[in-house]
Amino acid sequence: MTSSAALLTAMRLSDSMLPVGTYTASYGVEQYLNEDEIETADELGELLGGYLRGVIGPAETVALGHAHRSAAAGDLDGVLAADERLGAATLPAEFRDSSTKAGRKLLELLAETDGDPVDDGGGGAAAGDGGGGAATGDGGGAVDGVNGDPAAGDGADPLARAAVDGTVAEFAAACEAGRADGHYPVVLGVVCQRAGLSSREAALANAYGSVSGLLAAAQRLGRFGHTAIQSQLSALFPVIESVSDRYHDAELDAMCSFAPLADVMGMSHERADRRLFMS
């Protein structure tokens, strides 16, 4: 069972008010609209379904899942491998930029907001144990491990200290030192693991956040009504679920990313004459 605090964290991390610049990314959607490749809400839904099945599932979710497992095992190298491979699988430079900017901002944000050790006596010891405790558990067991931590029970922010604790801090340092890029799904995988969310839940949060962000981007570009957008969002839920189920525990080597038309759109957007979005 996911604790209430972990669920709240999942909502926080997939909320569009999370200040990591998501509103500046359209991952090619702006170009599709500029070139009139997408005109109806149904076509927009098909595009996002394609993203989910071709990129968010087999690339982002695979990286996220591997990062989550690696964080549970205290294995920084595993996190770095997921980050490197996701970057190598993402061909449009703007897509990589949007992803790494958001990822790094999330790391910075959490270091700022959730980084200070809570002064509650036992909390210090629990934080010290956090990495070791998680390292002995398997991916699924991490939920219980964190819930078993008295400092992370219901009512406490499960991200408290996460940002200065073990793998999150090590990964942030690696990004800072230029040894990693800090792709958003990888950061999310690590952070969610520390917060007591399973990799499947983290995958759902990532896919939901991506889809809602892209739908919102399309809406701001001005062609779709609010009910049409919400209809597409709910229609995409089964796809979000199925790609999260299918890919959250996949091997890192199995990562694929195939959305050549979206790649072309993203690449064209880099040189577009008119642009409201960074990607």
Give the residues lining the site for another protein (CB under 8 A): 17, 19-26, 32, 37-38, 43, 46-51, 53-55, 58, 84-85, 87-94, 96, 101, 104-105, 109, 181, 217, 220-222, 253-268, 270-278
Q: What is the DSSP letter of 150?
A: G
Q: What is the nearest approach in angstroms of another protein to the Cβ of residue 237?
A: 17
Cα–Cα distance for residue pair 242/237, rounded to 1 Å: 9
Encoding tokens for residue 214? 């892209």
Cα–Cα distance for residue pair 41/32, rounded to 1 Å: 13
Residue closer to another protein by CB (options 68, 104) is 104
Residue closer to another protein by CB (options 85, 200) is 85
Residue closer to another protein by CB (options 46, 144) is 46
Nearest of 6, 142, 150 to residue 72 by alpha carbon? 142
The amino acid at 46: E
Q: What is the nearest approach in angstroms of another protein to the Cβ of residue 204?
A: 20
Q: What is the DSSP letter of 64?
A: H
Cα–Cα distance for residue pair 182/75, rounded to 1 Å: 16
Q: What is the nearest approach in angstroms of another protein to the Cβ of residue 124?
A: 28
Contacts of 80 (CB under 8 A, 6+ apart): 171, 174, 179, 180
Residue closer to another protein by CB (options 7, 272) is 272
Q: What is the nearest approach in angstroms of another protein to the Cβ of residue 223?
A: 12
137 in Cβ contact with 144 (< 8 Å): yes
Residue closer to another protein by CB (options 119, 253) is 253
Q: What is the nearest approach in angstroms of another protein to the Cβ of residue 20?
A: 6
